[in-house]
Amino acid sequence: MLTIILIGFVLAIGAIAIHRLLKNYSGMAFAVYPAAAFVWFLTQYQTVASGEVVMSSMEWLPSLGIALDFKLDGLSLLFALLITGIGAIVLTYAGTYMKGVDHTDRFFVALILFMASMLGLVLSDNIISLFVFWELTSFSSYFLIGFKHEDKASRKSALEALLITAGGGLALLAGLVLLGIGGGSMSISELLTRGNELADSGLFNAAMLLIIIGCFTKSAQFPFHFWLPSAMAAPTPVSAYLHSATMVKAGIYLLARMSPVFNGADGWHATLLLFGATTMIVGAIIAILQTDLKKILAYTTVSALGLLTMLLGIGTSVAIHAVVIFILAHALYKGCLFLVAGIVDHQTGSRDIRKLGRIFKDMPYTAITAIIACLSMAGIPPLFGFISKEFSYESTIGMITNSPLTTSAFFLTGVFFTAAAGMLSYMVFFGKRNKLKVKVHEAPVTMVAGPILMALLSLVFGLSSGWINPLLDQASLAILPGNESLKMGLWHGINTELLLSLATLLVGLSAFSFIYLNPRLMSRIEISEKIKPSYAYEQVMEGIADLSKGVTRYVQNGYLRVYVSMMVGTFCVLALIILQDFGIPKISILWSDFRVYDIVIGIIMIIACFYTVMAKSRLLAIAMLGIVGYGVAFVFIIFGAPDLAMTQILIETLTVVLFVLVLWKLPRYLIFAEGFIKFRYFLVSALFGGIMTWIVMIVTQYPLDSHLKVFFSENSYPLAMGKNVVNVILVDFRSMDTLGEIVVLGIAAIGVYGLVKFNGDKKGGKA
Looking at residue 81, its amino acid is L
Choosing among other proteins, Na ion, none, which partner's interface includes residue 660 (Cβ < 5 to 8 Å by kind)?
other proteins
| φ and ψ of 72, to 5 deg | -110, 105
Query: Quick check: 59 and 35 in contact, CB under 8 A?
Result: no
Round to whole Å and give the CA distance between 300 and 193.
36
Q: Which is nearer to other proteins, 397 or 620 (CB)?
A: 620
Which of 56, 57, 727, 738 lies at the binding interface for Na ion (CB under 5 A)? 727
Residues 629-648 that bind Na ion (CB under 5 A): 643
Q: Which stretch binds other proteins (CB under 8 A): 90-98, 125-133, 300-308, 354-362?
A: 125-133
61 forms beta bridges with 66
Round to whole Å and give the CA distance between 176 and 196.
16
Round to whole Å and give the CA distance between 387 and 487.
11
Give the containing element (helix H, strand E) for 295.
helix 293-314
Choosing among other proteins, Na ion, none, which partner's interface includes residue 598 (Cβ < 5 to 8 Å by kind)?
other proteins
Give the containing element (helix H, strand E) for 175.
helix 152-183
Q: How far is the CB of 625 from Na ion (least distance, A)?
A: 25
Choosing among other proteins, Na ion, none, which partner's interface includes residue 167 (Cβ < 5 to 8 Å by kind)?
other proteins
Our finding on whether 514 is near other proteins (CB under 8 A) is no
Q: How far is the CB of 139 from other proteins (least distance, A)?
A: 6
Our finding on whether 696 is near other proteins (CB under 8 A) is yes
Q: Which is nearer to other proteins, 346 or 618 (CB)?
A: 618
Our finding on whether 5 is near other proteins (CB under 8 A) is no
Question: What is the separation of C-alpha 242 from the centre of its chain, rounded to a whole number of angstroms?
Answer: 17
Looking at residue 229, its amino acid is P
Round to whole Å and give the CA distance between 617 and 166.
60
Residues 167-196 that bind other proteins (CB under 8 A): 167, 170-171, 173-174, 177-178, 180-181
Our finding on whether 625 is near other proteins (CB under 8 A) is yes
Which of 5, 567, 583, 592 lies at the binding interface for other proteins (CB under 8 A)? 567
Our finding on whether 709 is near other proteins (CB under 8 A) is yes
Q: Pick from 689, 696, 688: which is nearest to 585 by CA?
A: 696
Choosing among Na ion, other proteins, none, which partner's interface includes residue 635 (Cβ < 5 to 8 Å by kind)?
other proteins
Give the containing element (helix H, strand E) for 327.
helix 317-348
**Residues whose CB falls within 8 Å of the CB of residue 639, separated by 6 or more in sequence, listed in order:** none
196 exposure class (CB count in 10 Å sphere: 0-12, 13-18, 19+): exposed
Our finding on whether 45 is near other proteins (CB under 8 A) is no
DSSP string, 76-118: HHHHHHHHHHHHHHHHHHHHHHTTT-TTHHHHHHHHHHHHHHH
The pattern of x and - marking residues 319 through 338 that bind other proteins according to CB under 8 A reads --------------------
Total of residues contacting other proteins (CB under 8 A)? 221
Residues 84-103 that bind other proteins (CB under 8 A): 102-103
Choosing among Na ion, other proteins, none, which partner's interface includes residue 637 (Cβ < 5 to 8 Å by kind)?
other proteins
Query: Quick check: 203 and 179 in contact, CB under 8 A?
Result: yes
Q: Which stretch binds other proteins (CB under 8 A): 166-174, 291-299, 399-407, 463-471?
A: 166-174
Q: How far is the CB of 629 from Na ion (least distance, A)?
A: 19
Our finding on whether 735 is near Na ion (CB under 5 A) is yes
Q: Which is nearer to Na ion, 643 or 714 (CB)?
A: 643
Q: How far is the CB of 237 from other proteins (least distance, A)?
A: 20
Our finding on whether 67 is near other proteins (CB under 8 A) is no
Question: What is the separation of C-alpha 126 from the centre of its chain, rounded to a whole number of angstroms?
Answer: 20
644 exposure class (CB count in 10 Å sphere: 0-12, 13-18, 19+): middle
Our finding on whether 617 is near Na ion (CB under 5 A) is no
**Residues whose CB falls within 8 Å of the CB of residue 7, separated by 6 or more in sequence, listed in order:** 33, 116
Round to whole Å and give the CA distance between 185 and 190.
7
Q: Which stretch binds other proteins (CB under 8 A): 47-55, 132-140, 229-237, 451-459?
A: 132-140
Our finding on whether 733 is near other proteins (CB under 8 A) is yes
Looking at residue 651, its amino acid is I
Q: Which stretch binds other proteins (CB under 8 A): 57-65, 316-324, 336-344, 496-504?
A: 57-65
Round to whole Å and give the CA distance between 287 and 304.
11
Q: Which is nearer to other proteins, 398 or 751 (CB)?
A: 751
Choosing among other proteins, Na ion, none, which partner's interface includes residue 535 (Cβ < 5 to 8 Å by kind)?
none
Q: Which is nearer to other proteins, 100 or 640 (CB)?
A: 640
Interhelix angle 293-314/384-397, rounded to 10 degrees, is 40
Our finding on whether 166 is near other proteins (CB under 8 A) is yes
Q: Is the N-terminal amide bond of 382 cis, ω within 30° of 0?
A: yes
The pattern of x and - marking residues 418 through 457 that bind other proteins according to CB under 8 A reads ----------------------------------------
Query: Quick check: 258 and 313 in contact, CB under 8 A?
Result: no
Round to whole Å and give the CA distance between 762 and 745.
25
Q: Which is nearer to other proteins, 409 or 728 (CB)?
A: 728
Q: Which stretch binds Na ion (CB under 5 A): 96-104, 533-541, 580-588, 722-730?
A: 722-730
Choosing among Na ion, other proteins, none, which partner's interface includes residue 256 (Cβ < 5 to 8 Å by kind)?
none
Q: Which is nearer to Na ion, 552 or 724 (CB)?
A: 724
Total of residues contacting Na ion (CB under 5 A)? 4
Our finding on whether 200 is near other proteins (CB under 8 A) is no
Q: How far is the CB of 638 from Na ion (least distance, A)?
A: 19
Our finding on whether 583 is near other proteins (CB under 8 A) is no
Round to whole Å and give the CA distance between 453 and 332.
9
Which of 73, 100, 162, 434 lies at the binding interface for other proteins (CB under 8 A)? 162
Residue 577: which region, alpha, beta or left (left: phi > 0; alpha: psi -120 to 50)?
alpha
The pattern of x and - marking residues 470 through 509 that bind other proteins according to CB under 8 A reads ----------------------------------------
Our finding on whether 732 is near Na ion (CB under 5 A) is yes
Our finding on whether 582 is near other proteins (CB under 8 A) is yes
Q: How far is the CB of 555 from other proteins (least distance, A)?
A: 6
352 forms beta bridges with 292
DSSP string, 518-584: -HHHHHTHHHHHHT-THHHHHHHHHHHHHHHHHHHHHH--S-HHHHHHHHHHHHHHHHHHHHTTS-P
The pattern of x and - marking residues 595 through 614 that bind other proteins according to CB under 8 A reads xxxxxxxxxxxxxxxxxxx-
Q: Which is nearer to other proteins, 517 or 590 (CB)?
A: 590
Which of 100, 664, 675, 676 lies at the binding interface for other proteins (CB under 8 A)? 664
The pattern of x and - marking residues 526 through 565 that bind other proteins according to CB under 8 A reads ------------------xx-xxx-xxx-xxxxxxxxxxx
Q: How far is the CB of 721 from Na ion (least distance, A)?
A: 11
How distant, in Å, are the alpha carbons of 68, 135, 305, 550, 606 from that of 130?
Answer: 9, 9, 21, 38, 69
Our finding on whether 692 is near other proteins (CB under 8 A) is yes
Buried b (16+ CB within 10 A) or exposed e, 355-383: bbbbbbebbebbbbbbbbbbbbbbbbbbb
Over its C-alpha atoms, the chain yields an Rg (Å, rounded) of 38
Q: Which is nearer to other proteins, 45 or 571 (CB)?
A: 571
Binding site for Na ion (CB under 5 A): 643, 727, 732, 735
